[in-house]
Structure 1
């Protein structure tokens, strides 16, 4: 995704006392020897832009600093070709215990892939860019050591791919997170269908189809981020993380994960007293009711009915959908539905296949030209997708097989994990959960299906206090659990002064 793409919904003002200084992190290129011959050729391709990504070693930490601030750190092939071998080598190092990914300039971690550069090259070459990008995303998603990503500023598209599969995702007051690909005739790639399909309810479906954004607080409450830290504290947090080399080497273990999680929690910001999760409450009820269907036609009909009944959020969502590419939305919906049932490896392979197909679609060229080159803001001239069977067209099947060149890329992904257990390289659920409680966790506790939940119905206060204790008083737990309970439970009449609740 390009740095120039923004969501139609205006970011909510953040009522906070956080300061917003722009700091320039100290950086020095690390010229370590790269011994793996499989990556030498790729690294040599990047010599034309030696400083677009910088690498640092600081005690236990290995740091990747995206360094194209004028382009909002948008990814290009040069950056990907540098990061892939270096990150791969660090995975093998006994002295490297932690990977940190951040962006230079104070405005973005990464605004996406530089897709405008793909307009004037053959489809085979643009496909090569995406396969390299997704291979890097897969390496990060299955990395044997903890990764901390600083989502400080714009984190969209390809930038989201660098962070959303990692165990520690730090949002700040400047974060703007989105997968806005349906606005340019593409679809939510970089493994997004795996991540989005595992968010609460139908929120991930909504974000995939509409491309709407999450600000820092919303990203944290939605689960896109695992922590919320003021931007001004990131430098101090990084210094703390580099000091964790004094801890016994538990790299990859749950104990080391807890050490890092607790360290980050020490820097977290308070949630403003007047903060309200934009995608909670009635808005979330509309999302769950309207985006639960299997076709875009059904989703649009449900939104239309809700809008007709006076639902303003449904009306604005219809306006948003009208601007998006119909084909892209259909593919996005199908991808999220399938993504919920498959593992991370299959997800990345699907992305490689789908992206290759999109490179030959007129909508991709129409959307990128309209939005990123011409800088227009209205509705692009999309093709009619009413009768397009996206599952048959964009996923491998008997008549739509994997080409030999792409199969070779699939084989490379398989080789990356051949010496590791399958549950580490082809998992169906993320190995670590460091964010706020999920809606499913709250439901299981209320219904007595969770660990430490009893056979009796609880009160709201009991549920909230359980999760506050279970999550060590993590910032935002109380607020998120309370929002879930207000929306998803009701008082059981006739019991103990009508304080007991049940799930609805």
Structure 2
């Protein structure tokens, strides 16, 4: 598609802020929450008391702080932690004194390395499914929380750890961040609402990350949009203290202005772009990802990668090696989930996850992968099942029989948001956008289709300057927009002297 505009006048307007309505949850606050979603079953009570310090809770002025405290297990989530987290976080969501929630991990190595799935080996499918429904219920509560949440992605942030942070409006990456959804390597699939957040990353990057389980390290997590800010690890303590001081601000919880105040406070702690920084998945790698992962089947993706590798593309070749280690079934479900995730709302996403997880608990690949990777700690290719003739539609609730237990859980999720608007509890786009400009935004501006873009052709520098103003000079904007333009635009014929560009 080509821009046909000729006027080159550039309109520079201030950034607009996303908005979330802060209607209070109607469920009454009780010392013991009676809703079935939050009830700790007898079998969990013992686990909850076994390690009473695996989650720490703190009140600091305006802030309510959650500290995941299993450093030897890289803060991996277990039932004990979920039993504590859900009612306390829900309680704080209703408290007038609580202005924002901060989630971080103790030990300096991880926010959370994921769910403790190794503990699910050999247990009945109903019990393991129960663990996942509790985990996804917590993730959904965070995704629809009536107050701002700031998560510190300091260290390993994978699987269940991504579920705790990726649906929140403020996600802080550090130089130690290692973000990934590595489930296809253990015979599972990218859960915790990953199909929603991965499908909304630039181009086909989210598809690539879902299928391969590869990482975004450090600044790359910020550049790709997995994080909204980048703050050095050594500054997190001071940032936490600064956020707690925001109780001096007028009570604007959930409002547009209050979120802007939080965003600006975090911006003050950001560091400059690392010297000589280049996005790992940018340039030619980004082109390969977009060209090869745009298809609807794994067979087509593999064929495209093979052709690229045969033509001398080393990244395509290494990606084929990566895919070969993953569960074929897991990759097929991951691909289908990301494709569907782009079209559905956040509530349906988590219902799908609950159903898909229940199906995987009866699949041999899950037992094989978890045992091979997490228990035996092997690095080769596990003995996966042949998935060439699998009908993956069986992994989605639509058109399939939903067990009564899951029907009850679905009803409980609906009840959580029954008194709130759809834009709060069943949105199709995140209510907040505090990260760097997206590829789609840049494309719309170059084509003259964006809000206030005006009828013009522009140079690369003019496009960059527009976004610098629109994003108020946010760290990394220049580098992010420049990388997109280098990869996705070309100079228009007849305007070589002026260097005017168009999208390709």
TM-score by length of 2: 0.92
**Aligned equivalent of 2:34, options 37, 42, 47:** 37
Is the 1:34–1:89 Cα contact (8 Å) retained in structure 2? no
Runs of at least 5 residues in structure 1 that lack an aligned partner in the other structure: 1-31
Q: Tell me, what secondary structure is at the counterpart of 1:497?
A: coil
- Give the drift of 1:493: 1.9
Question: Hey, what does 2:7 align to over in structure 1?
Answer: none
1:341–1:40 distance in 2 versus 1, CA, 3 Å = closer
In the alignment, the residues of structure 1 paired with residue 239 and residue 32 of structure 2 have an alpha-carbon distance, to the nearest angstrom, of 32
Q: Tell me, what secondary structure is at the counterpart of 1:37?
A: coil
Question: Hey, what does 1:146 align to over in structure 2?
Answer: 148
Is 1:480 aligned to residue 480 of structure 2?
A: yes
Q: Tell me, what secondary structure is at the counterpart of 1:263?
A: helix
- Give the drift of 1:294: 0.2
Q: Indicate the structure whose relative CO is greater, using CA pairs within 8 Å and at least 6 residues apart.
A: 2
Q: Tell me, what secondary structure is at the counterpart of 1:233?
A: helix
- Give the drift of 1:35: 4.4
In the alignment, the residues of structure 2 paired with residue 333 and residue 429 of structure 1 have an alpha-carbon distance, to the nearest angstrom, of 20
- Give the drift of 1:356: 0.2
Deviations 1:20-56 (A, max 9, x none): xxxxxxxxxxxx9734233354585512211000100
Is 1:93 aligned to residue 90 of structure 2?
A: no
- Give the drift of 1:353: 0.1
Question: Hey, what does 1:123 align to over in structure 2?
Answer: 125
- Give the drift of 1:240: 0.3
In the alignment, the residues of structure 1 paired with residue 198 and residue 358 of structure 2 have an alpha-carbon distance, to the nearest angstrom, of 21
In the alignment, the residues of structure 2 paired with residue 500 and residue 198 of structure 1 have an alpha-carbon distance, to the nearest angstrom, of 29
Question: Hey, what does 2:457 align to over in structure 1?
Answer: 457
In the alignment, the residues of structure 1 paired with residue 416 and residue 286 of structure 2 have an alpha-carbon distance, to the nearest angstrom, of 39
In the alignment, the residues of structure 2 paired with residue 305 and residue 342 of structure 1 have an alpha-carbon distance, to the nearest angstrom, of 33
Q: Tell me, what secondary structure is at the counterpart of 1:252?
A: coil
Runs of at least 5 residues in structure 2 that lack an aligned partner in the other structure: 1-28
**Aligned equivalent of 1:223, options 206, 222, 225:** 225
Is 1:420 aligned to residue 420 of structure 2?
A: yes
- Give the drift of 1:397: 3.7
Question: Hey, what does 2:139 align to over in structure 1?
Answer: 137
Question: Hey, what does 1:395 align to over in structure 2?
Answer: 396
In the alignment, the residues of structure 2 paired with residue 116 and residue 242 of structure 1 have an alpha-carbon distance, to the nearest angstrom, of 36
Count of matched residue pairs: 471
In the alignment, the residues of structure 1 paired with residue 30 and residue 94 of structure 2 have an alpha-carbon distance, to the nearest angstrom, of 13
- Give the drift of 1:273: 2.4
Deviations 1:188-224 (A, max 9, x none): 0000000000000000000000000010111001100
In the alignment, the residues of structure 1 paired with residue 212 and residue 253 of structure 2 have an alpha-carbon distance, to the nearest angstrom, of 38
Is the 2:63–2:100 Cα contact (8 Å) retained in structure 1? yes
Q: Tell me, what secondary structure is at the counterpart of 2:252?
A: coil
In the alignment, the residues of structure 2 paired with residue 403 and residue 125 of structure 1 have an alpha-carbon distance, to the nearest angstrom, of 14
- Give the drift of 1:69: 0.3
Is the 1:137–1:162 Cα contact (8 Å) retained in structure 2? yes
- Give the drift of 1:496: 6.4
In the alignment, the residues of structure 2 paired with residue 181 and residue 144 of structure 1 have an alpha-carbon distance, to the nearest angstrom, of 30
Q: Which runs of 4+ in 1 moved over 4 A?
A: 42-45
Question: Hey, what does 2:187 align to over in structure 1?
Answer: 185
Is the 1:102–1:109 Cα contact (8 Å) retained in structure 2? yes
TM-score by length of 1: 0.92
